Structure 1
Amino acid sequence: MLRTSRNMLMGTIYGLSTFTAVAASALGEGRSQLSFQPPPNLSSSSSPSSHDLNVNTTANYIFNSLAGALAQLPNTIHPNGHLLLPVTIPTHTTVYHARNDNGSVPSPDWVAMDVEMSYGIMTGRSGGTWLSTFVTAREIKLVYFDGNSAALGTPGWLDTQDVVAPPEEDETPGHPGGGWNGEHDRAVRLCEWNEREKLRLDGFLRMNSGFEVMWCDFDSGALELVSHLNITPPDVPLSSGGSSWDHGGGGDHHFASPSSPRGSSEFDDALPPPPEGSYPGRRPGEGGGGPPGRGGASIFSSSSRFEWLRVSTHRYHIPQPHIVPDWSSFVTFYHPRLSSLVEARKGVSRMGDHQVKRDASEEDVSSVRDEIVEVLRRSSGSRGSGVDWSQLSKDVVERYGDRLANLDHILNGSSSSSSNFGASSSSLSSTNFTLLRTKLSVLTYTMLNPFLDTTHLSNTSSSSTPSSLWLPSTLDRCSTYLTRTVSRSTLTDQERILKASIDFVTGRICSEIGGMFEESLLGSKKGREEESLVKEWRGRVKELMSWLDWPIWTRCEVACSWNEVCAIPMWPLTSRGGPRGDPDPKTPPVVPYCLALDGEEGRF
């Protein structure tokens, strides 16, 4: 009975995985025909194993991209981005641009969403630091590339940008991503693609140790200059030999009219043009002897790196403020119709090992490029259901994230608890098994109880009620409770893949916890060895958590002091195994720890 009921549910949720085949076949019919129909019920002999689910679906990857979009930690842990998402910045949002000269801003160039990032990139070098503070004069249209999409040095980080607007074959060879100079070329290519396709974008949103906008045209009138200040730290000499306090070229360049846009005669008359061919802002540490804050002996400039790190960790789980995503236009290289990438991912479960540029066929790249153009061109009246899909995915993480970690803790005893539930199977006593089973039963019941109709569930201590009377309907409600009432007729093609992914992920979670709850009630009565049952539970929870790969489980185990932040290596601020935080693909994911904001090196 136990195995039969689990198979019934697995057959139900496995229907969602058939969207791989359905989506692939729908490609020839056009994306508007995309649908995800459940298959006939699977018999127990054909029910898929967890291994089959891991190999045959991208639902967990799409779910992670959705839940982690626009947040620092998820996109640092999963740096190889696959998402292209239209976003907007509201009117009157402040952005920042720092330079090492007193010139006007060329196009294209960059603005930071946080002043600490802009200042941290520029300060601490020979020469001064000038900061332009802007506000948006209207709604700003961007495309967001997820992952570590503004970080250089590792294949995979910049892939989505470089396949949307590919470089020339001879462009900046020999360095992944094209190096520092390749950044300007990349901006030019993307902005030219925007113009060519008539997409009316203002730029492109990316992330490294913070969020920045690759801005296409500073003369468009979309930005209003609030101030232009010489913010060189007082103990840093300027290259001319003067101090920052007596440099005639600095100062606050307020306009006669505060609403005058960048590009007005007042601004251009006040600021000399930048040196020809100079594109400052993309080379942390240039002229200063290293990464931000390490150049020279200034105690003020050296603090910039730590303050940048501080604000970056503010965004670890909370999305970058002032960014409004359009979830109905979620375009992803994890879409199951992209057969070349499906093939390349077989046996490669870790998101950090997936590379679009290396693995995608030209046909699949063209398909995604066409899709993002299509969603950017469609009218505002075709924006789908209005469902906040990202919040639904976060609801799943909030409900199950810490409880699954708690379940793993119960089964593996990773604490100094007097009841050593995590003891090896050879030392598992009957008393410990009873306590463990009770804790597991209560916790799995807690996760199921909003969906469990106890009408047919008799006294649990007797375990006499056939699970077929309550388990399948419970798990069906558990798997689809977030999306059950969403009308398919209101969904865009992109929303359908989001709905299917959320349902699939919740379906697998519910299946596993439902099976363990049932087994905790029936385990000893099924004639199964206690140690064998515990070993199976451990393996299933471990595999489930590995498959989900949620960033919520990456955290410092103790609270950090007020002069510390809980951090992991982030390019270009903190490093592991390399000068810019380049991860070593042969090493396991890093464990975060408390990093002092007044430390010497900031290395992990």
Structure 2
Amino acid sequence: MHYQSLVTALSLGSAALALHGQFPINIAEEIGARPLDITNSNPGHLNSISSNSEQWRFDECPPENATGNLIFDTVHSLLQHWPNTRYRNGHNIVPGVIPIGTLLYHGTNGSRIIPSGPEWTAMNPEHSIYFSRGNGSGWHLTLAATRPLKVLYFDGSSAAKLSEGTMDVQDIIAWGEPRPERSFDEGDRINALCAWGKEFGIDGFVSEVMLCDFTAGVEVVSFVHIALPRDDRSFPLSTSVDPNTCQSSTCGLWHNRYPGDSRIVLDLTGLISLYDTALAPSLISARAGFGRLDHRVFGISSDDISRVMRKLIKVVTRPHPVGSGIDWKTLLHVIVDRYADRLELTRYLLNVTLSDPQELLERAKLVQFQLRVMLTPYLLHSTAIPNTGTLGIYLSQWASPIFSLCVTTHTSQITNLKPLMTSSELLLLKAVEDTTREICRITIKMWAVGVMSGFDTLFPIELNGELDVTQIMNDWRQDIGKLMSWLDWSVWIKCRPACGPEEMCYLSTWPINAPRPERPLLSPRNSQNLTNFPETQYVADRVTQPKYPTMPAEDWGLPQPRCIRRLQPYGF
């Protein structure tokens, strides 16, 4: 049977296929006739998931402009270096705190003077020490938080001084609109952010940690004169960068993956996402036709900016605690943790070319087994696959309870807390539901096709005709590829083969691999919208006299993982 005929059966039903002679499968009536034990389950929930199969259609794809998957992935990626290096243009603003006792670091190659106004600090000394270099020594300041520091966190590579979109969200707060031509105007930006935040008691902003006041909420642990290599920033541009010096682009590697940098505690009940289509509908058309790497906030309407700012002010002035109490960070990770490796293994098993029909059949059965392993918690004991002679029984009815249970398991109970949820939490709930729905839709559809093809030993059936196993495998491969592309989880982006002990896995990043144009980079979409584009007003000196050693990357447009040496001689 052709794969698409089986998929159609999930939506149209067995009667339609039987009438057309396209359903050569006999099924013993005893199969699936076992009673369902609901002693320790929620009967109301099970009744509700099986009562309306129409809402669990296997042919219902996510809308083209859906962003639930993007909200899910960006929130799961917060405070993690790897995914925010891969997709450098942030879309989230999240309130948070830096706990008491947390150390912050500031380096300078000037003199022993504590900054009198807003300045940058780092979470790691290796990062800040980089800015102490230049004359064989430098001054290094270590601070400790004496109270919880109130901060706003920007995701993406929000410390990267690029005109491509990394600072769009910050610019909205600082200047009321994205200003890509001022990507290097860091002094004015931090001053404007801190001036805005002062009214709301905000101590700093997290890309690096932009600390607004070095005398409020922090105390000096040490301010020492340290010995350093002489002018280490002046080596030739053709030389690779020592990753162990942990400058701004590489020290984040220590926090590549979940849970990210746990020294910053974010409050997701106050999440503001620019992927929220109700909050920023003008960005729907701005994203249309562009890949995710080109998504940015530039192009947002003034009405949407006003809406974002009203919500932000509401978030930073609200009383605490608020919300449902749900641990959203953990919930999202549980879902990624549950499916990421299994989907990756399924894709691996399908990525094979076999000419021997028996070997191909055995591989198909192996894929089916992995799908069943993934879906075991949702395979109801009462599952009954109707035979061809049972007219009026829709195949979608036997699979839809499994589909529904798979989708709702992680959220069926917490939906009772909706009255307590903030608007941010309702957005997160919808993102979880959208993401799990598509995972379950595709994997259960694939599994059901495998069952009807006779691949599943737990649901044995008797076939009366030939199967096109090659076509089934090809379509499975297409399904899993589309699903993983839609999810786009950065846990799947890794060096293959894995790096050796003298290497580390690396993505092209700012400032090491960023292009150095004579004026800010703008996509064609955005450049046509700019008026009075500045020639070199803000960036000329920085661009023509690079502060950082660089090695422009060929894969800057879509960074790809590669192993680089972490011991001398360094090299990409």
Alignment of 1:387-406 (within 5 A): 387-406=326-345
Cα pair 1:167 1:186 within 8 Å, conserved: no
Please give the per-residue CA displacement for 1:216-273, whole angstroms capped at 9, x wherever unaligned. Answer: 11132x111011111132x538xxxxxxxxxxxxxxxxxxxxxxxxxxxxxxxxxxxx
Structure 1 residue 443: Cα displacement: 0.7
Query: Who is 1:178 aligned against?
Result: 183
Q: Could you say what secondary structure the match of 2:361 adopts?
A: helix
Query: Who is 2:224 aligned against?
Result: 229
Structure 1 residue 97: Cα displacement: 0.5
Cα pair 2:56 2:400 within 8 Å, conserved: no
Please give the per-residue CA displacement for 1:145-179, whole angstroms capped at 9, x wherever unaligned. Answer: 0001000124111110012222799x8xxx74432
Please give the per-residue CA displacement for 1:520-558, whole angstroms capped at 9, x wherever unaligned. Answer: 121365866322222211111111111111000111223
Structure 1 residue 458: Cα displacement: 7.6
CA RMSD of aligned residues (A): 3.4
Give 2:358's match in structure 1, choosing from 427, 431, 449: 431
Change (3 A) 1:149 1:6: farther
Q: Which runs of 5+ in 1 are unaligned?
A: 10-37, 207-211, 238-283, 296-301, 414-421
Q: Which runs of 5+ in 2 are unaligned?
A: 14-48, 388-392, 455-462, 518-548
1:146 aligns with 2:149: no
User: Amino acid of the residue matched to residue 595 of structure 1?
Assistant: I
Cα pair 1:82 1:160 within 8 Å, conserved: yes
Give 2:407's match in structure 1, choosing from 479, 482, 490: 479
Query: Who is 1:590 aligned against?
Result: 559
Q: Could you say what secondary structure the match of 1:557 adopts?
A: coil
Q: Distance in 2 between matches of 1:230 and 1:389?
A: 43
Alignment of 1:416-427 (within 5 A): 422-423=353-354, 427=355
Q: Relative CO higher for 1 or 2, CA cutoff 8 Å, sep ≥ 6?
A: 2
Give 2:445's match in structure 1, choosing from 496, 507, 515: 515
Query: Who is 1:446 aligned against?
Result: 373
Structure 1 residue 131: Cα displacement: 0.5
1:219 aligns with 2:149: no
TM-score by length of 1: 0.73
User: Amino acid of the residue matched to residue 190 of structure 1?
Assistant: L
Q: Could you say what secondary structure the match of 1:227 adopts?
A: strand
Query: Who is 1:255 aligned against?
Result: none
* Residues matched between the structures, number: 482
Change (3 A) 1:403 1:188: same
Q: Could you say what secondary structure the match of 1:455 adopts?
A: coil
Q: Distance in 1 between matches of 2:72 and 2:56?
A: 29
Query: Who is 2:305 aligned against?
Result: 365
Change (3 A) 1:157 1:585: farther
Q: Distance in 2 between matches of 1:214 and 1:449?
A: 48
Cα pair 1:163 1:365 within 8 Å, conserved: yes
Query: Who is 2:205 aligned against?
Result: 204
Q: Distance in 1 between matches of 2:155 and 2:74?
A: 8
Q: Distance in 2 between matches of 1:144 and 1:581?
A: 29
Query: Who is 2:137 aligned against?
Result: 128
Query: Who is 1:570 aligned against?
Result: 509
Q: Distance in 2 between matches of 1:307 and 1:59?
A: 34
Give 2:484's match in structure 1, choosing from 538, 545, 549: 545
Query: Who is 2:541 aligned against?
Result: none
Change (3 A) 1:576 1:194: closer
Structure 1 residue 499: Cα displacement: 0.5
Change (3 A) 1:159 1:5: farther
Q: Distance in 1 between matches of 2:215 and 2:239?
A: 31
Structure 1 residue 410: Cα displacement: 0.9
1:194 aligns with 2:122: no
Q: Distance in 1 between matches of 2:126 and 2:386?
A: 60
User: Amino acid of the residue matched to residue 185 of structure 1?
Assistant: D
Structure 1 residue 133: Cα displacement: 0.6
Q: Distance in 2 between matches of 1:120 and 1:503?
A: 44
Query: Who is 2:539 aligned against?
Result: none
Percent sequence identity over aligned pairs: 28
Q: Distance in 2 between matches of 1:309 and 1:63?
A: 25
User: Amino acid of the residue matched to residue 511 of structure 1?
Assistant: R
Please give the per-residue CA displacement for 1:286-333, whole angstroms capped at 9, x wherever unaligned. Answer: xx45789989xxxxxx67535877642221103112111101111110
Query: Who is 1:492 aligned against?
Result: 422
Q: Distance in 2 between matches of 1:42 and 1:73?
A: 40
User: Amino acid of the residue matched to residue 122 of structure 2?
Assistant: A
Q: Distance in 2 between matches of 1:339 and 1:306?
A: 39
Change (3 A) 1:143 1:602: farther
Give 2:264's match in structure 1, choosing from 309, 319, 323: 323
User: Amino acid of the residue matched to residue 340 of structure 2?
Assistant: G
Alignment of 1:154-173 (within 5 A): 154-166=163-175
